[in-house]
Structure 1
Amino acid sequence: MPRDRHGSFFEDFRLNQVIRHATPRTVTEAEASLYIALTGSRHVPHSALTIARSLGYRNRPLDDFLVFNIAFGKTVAEISLNAVANLGYAELRFIEPVFSGDTLRSESVVIGLKENSSRKTGIVYVRSTCYNQDERPILSWVRWVMVLKRRPQSIVKECYEPEFVSAIPSDELCSPGRFSSKVTLDEWCDATGSRILWNDFAPGERIDHPLGMTIEEADHLCATRLYQNNARVHFDAVEMQRSKIGKRLVYGGHVISICRALTYDGLENVLGVLAINGGQHVSPTVAGDTLYAYSEVIDKWNMPGRSDVGALRLRLVGLKNFIPVDVPSAQSATERGGRRHPAVVLDLDYTVSMPCKWLDGNSIGAHSPVDDVLSADPPVAFPNTGDARRPDLVS
C-alpha cells in the first residue's frame, strides 16, 4: 500500500488485500477515565471495580465503545483518510473484554470494491479485526466507505459487492460477565439504581431517554485524538471551510458514544454490548448541536447456555436539536419515500446482554411464564441499515 503521507485512494485497494495498521496501543485506566469525562458514560461494569469483580472480571473492563473507537482509529490512515463518506457498519462482534494494560492492534482485509458511476469515487468494503497482545481477536467489524479516486480517468477492473447477515447469530455472541447468585444481582441493581431487567422488556417497546448533551468543540476534538483518528474532516478547519457544511465534523464514533451514554436512563441494567448488526450515520453532527436519543426493542431471546442473562436487540436512534417526544418516528412524513426525519443523525441496530430476574434462588431468564407471553408476539422486522448508495457521513 502506498505510504505517501496523503492516504490511500480508491485505485490503491485490491480485493483480499491485507493491511496491518500502524501504532499498537497499550490502554490504561487513564483512557477509561477520560472516556467517562468526554461522554458522561455511567455504565456500571466500566465504573465500579467491586461490581466488575462480582461478575467474574479480573478488573474493570474498558467500555465497549471506547475499545471500538480505539480499534477503529487505527484503520483511518490507510482506509479512510481520503474518504468522502463513511457509509455503514455491519457484523460487529465484541469477542473478549479489554482491560487496563492490554495492547491492541488492528488489521483489515479488503472484501469488496465498487467504482461509482461518476468515476470520481469508489466504495471500499473492509473487514477489520482488533487483536490483543496475545494475538487473540477481541473485536471484529465490517464497514464501507466512499473513497476519492486519484484520477477520475483511471480504470479499476476489480468489482465485488459483499453481502452481510442482518444480525449476528445468537451462538456467535459472547457475554463474559456472570450473575452467580441473587445476592450478586441485588448488588448490581443497587449499583445501577434500577430493577428493570431483561424480563420487563417486550419487542416493539420504545424508550425515550430524557437527557441531552450539547457537543462542545474541545470535547469532540479531544475524543477523536484519544482514539488517534487523524481524519482531516474532524481537525482541519481551513479545509472544511471549503466543504458544503463549512465546519469540522464530529467523528461518528463520538456520536455513537454520546448517544449510547444517554441511553443509561431507561437501559441502566445493560451488562454489555455484544454486537452491532448494522448502522448508519444519517446526517453530520457539528459542534453546538445537542444530541438526544431514543431506543426501540426489536427482539429478545435467551442466551444459549445461560439463564442469568438474556439478549436484547435494540434500535438506537440519535437525534440532534430535537427532544425524542417531538420525533414520533425516525422516518419523516414522507416515510414511504425512504427519507428519515431531519433530526436523525444516527440509526444503529445492536445487541446487548442484560440480567434476568431470579425467583426462589434461581434465575428465570429461560423459563419465565411472563416471557412466554412476551415472546409470543412476532419480532419487529428491522433490516440491516447499511446502504452503500448514501454518502451519509465522512469517516
Structure 2
Amino acid sequence: MSKINLGNFFEDFEIGQKIIHPLPRTITDGDVSFYIALTGSRFALHSSDVLAQRMGYKKKPLDDLLMFHLTFGKSVQDISLNAIANLGYAEVSFPNPVFVGDTVRLETEIIGLKENSNGKSGVVYVHSIGYNQDKQEVLNLKRWVMVHKKNKEQISGIKHIPTFEKTQPITRNINIPKQKDIDTSATGGKFFFEDYITGERLNHPEGITIDDSDHTLATKLYQNNAKVHFDDFMMKNTPMKQRLMYGGHVISIARTISFNGLENAQWIYSINSGTHANPTFGGDTIYAYTEIVETIEHEREDIGLLRLRTIAVKNQKSEEIESPKAEDGNYLKNVVLDLDYTVIIPKRKTKK
C-alpha cells in the first residue's frame, strides 16, 4: 500500500461522504502581520488591540477573511488537491469571532457531484464547517470546485447539483459587542449605515498589482497545497501556461481595495455568493467597485447591515465598465470576481 497521498479525484467522492480534515491550526500574531503584508488590509478593528477594546472586544479579532483562508485551507488536501479551479462559494457565514491563540479545524460533507460533459473532470460541491478549540462554530461555507477525473474513459453521468440560498438570513443575535462610540479618526472613515443608499456605486480608486511571490506566499500561509497554485512546471503544460492564483487571495485584495469608501464596515456577516469569473495570474493588477445592493435594518439600535456586490477587474480601471457582463450574459474577460456579501456597519447615532 502506497504511503503517498495523491489526493482525491472526482470518482473518489460520494454524496453524503464526511471528511474530518487534518492539520488544525493555532493562529499567531505572525499570521496576522503576514496577512497585512500580503494584502495591505487596513480595517482598523483587526489592526489595533486598543481600538478593539474600545469597541467591546478583549483584543483585536482576526480579519474574517484571514480566518476564512486559514480554516478553508484545511480542506484542500482532501477536496481540491487535484483541482482545475475553485469555481464559487455560497452561504458563507462567520458565527463567532476568532482571536490570536485560537486553534481552528474543519469538517466537510460532500453535498453534490456533476460530471462534466467532456468526461475529463467534474464539479464537487461541499459543505464545510470550521470550529475553534472550544467546539464553537467559526465558519460555515459551501463551495464548488472542478476536479480532474482519474479515469477519463469511464463515464458515470452523475448530475446531483444542490440548491443554494440567495442570501444568508439575518439572525437576531449577532455576535459582536454593543457599539457605543466609534472613533472615526481611528477607523479612517466618517460614513455610517445611514449614509449609504441602495443602488449607490463606489468606484474604489486604488489598484493593487499582485506579484507571483505575493500570491505564492499567501497560499503557503493558508497551507493550501493545490497544485495549480505552486507547480509551474505542470501548469506550463496546460492551456493557461502558468500558475493560477488562489481565488481567495483575489477576494482579500478586493476587500482591501473596498476599504476606501467602506472604512467602518469592519465585520463581514456573510458571503452570499461568489464567482471567480476569469482566472488571475501573477503580474495582474486588480481594481474594484462596489454596489450597495440593499440596506438592512436590524433590531439592534447600534448596527445595520449592507448587502454589497464587489466586482474585481484585472488590468483595467473599474470605472471603465458599466456592468460585469456582456449582452450575451457572459462575464467580460477582465472581470475576475463577482462577490455578493453582507457587512455589518455601525449606525451614526452611536457616535457622540
Both structures adopt the same fold (TM-score exceeding 0.5)? yes
1:38-117 aligned at under 5 Å gives the runs: 38-117=38-117
**Map of 1:237 onto structure 2:** 232
In the alignment, what sits opposite 2:316?
322
Matches within 5 A, 1:268-279: 268-279=263-274
Structure 2 match to 1:128 = 128
**1:173–1:275: 8 Å Cα contact kept in structure 2?**
no
CA RMSD, aligned part only? Answer: 1.7
Query: Structure 2 CA distance, aligned partners of 1:351 and 1:109?
Result: 25
Counterpart residue number, 1:352: 343
Which residue type is aligned with residue 287 of structure 1? Answer: G
Kindly indicate whether residue 259 of structure 2 is the aligned counterpart of residue 264 of structure 1. Answer: yes
Distance (whole Å) between structure 2 residues aligned to residue 155 and residue 135 of structure 1: 41
**Pairs within 5 Å for 1:130-145:** 130-145=130-145
**Letter of the structure 1 residue corresponding to residue 164 of structure 2:** F
1:280 aligns with 2:271: no
Comparing 243-252 with 92-101, which one deviates more in the overlay? 243-252
Q: Deviations over 1:72-110 (max 9, x none)?
A: 111011101111222211000011110000001011000
- Aligned 8 A contact 1:122 1:149 in 2: yes
| Equivalent residue number for residue 195 of structure 2 | 200
Q: Which amino acid aligns with 2:50?
A: T
Residues in 1 aligned to 2:101 and 2:336: alpha-carbon distance in whole angstroms: 34
Look up the match of 2:37.
Answer: 37
State the alpha-carbon separation in 1 of the partners of residues 235 and 351 from structure 2: 61
Letter in 2 for 1:327: I
Compute the TM-score of the two structures, normalised by the length of structure 1. 0.86
- Matched residue, 1:176: 176
Decide whether aligned partners of structure 1 residues 290 and 72 sit closer, same or farther in structure 2, where only a CA change above 3 A counts. same
**Partners of 1:318 and 1:344 within 8 A in 2:** yes
- Structure 1 59/237 Cα, relative in aligned 2: closer, same or farther at 3 Å? same
Q: Quick one: distance in 2 between partners of 1:117 and 1:312?
A: 39
TM-score of the superposed pair, with normalisation by structure 2: 0.96
User: What do residues 276-326 of structure 1 show as CA deviations (whole Å, max 9, x unaligned)?
Assistant: 0001111111111111110000001112x3110100000010011111221
- Tell whether the 8 Å contact from 1:95 to 1:173 is kept in structure 2 after alignment: no
Contact 2:83 2:228 (8 Å CA) reproduced: no
Q: Is the 8 A contact 1:175 1:272 kept in 2?
A: no
SS in 1 for 2:206: coil
TM-superposed deviation, 1:158: 5.7
Shift of 1:159: 4.4
Distance in 1, matches of 2:319 and 2:160, equals 42
Structure 1 distance, partners of 2:228, 2:23, is 21
Rounded to whole Å, the distance in 2 between the matches of 1:173 and 1:293 is 31
CA contact (8 A) 1:177 1:271 kept: no
Measure, in 1, the Cα distance between the counterparts of 2:3 and 2:58: 40
Q: Tell which deviates more after alignment, 163-172 or 198-207.
A: 163-172
Question: Counterpart amino acid of 1:350?
Answer: Y
Which deviates more, 158-167 or 270-279?
A: 158-167
Give the drift of 1:5: 1.5
1:223 aligns with 2:214: no
Deviation of 1:71 after TM superposition, in Å, equals 1.2
3-state DSSP class of the match of 1:210? strand
- Give 2:347's aligned amino acid: C
CA distance in 2, matches of 1:84, 1:230: 13
Local SS of the residue matching 2:205: coil
SS of residue paired to 1:122:
strand
Gaps of 5+ in 1: 362-395
Q: Does 1:212 align with 2:203?
A: no
Instruction: Report how far residue 172 of structure 1 moved.
Output: 6.9
Q: Which runs of 5+ in 2 are unaligned?
A: none
- Give the letter for the 1:355 counterpart: P
Q: Counterparts of 2:155 and 2:83 in 1: how far apart (Å)?
A: 19
Deviations 1:231-285 (A, max 9, x none): 1111111001111121111111111101100111111110200100001111111
- For 1:15 and 1:173, the matched residues in 2 are separated by 33
CA contact (8 A) 2:97 2:175 kept: no
Aligned to 2:296: 301
Deviation at 1:153, TM superposition (A): 3.2
Aligned residue for 2:106, secondary structure, equals: strand
Contact 1:276 1:351 in 2 (8 A): yes
Aligned length: 351
Match of 2:332?
341
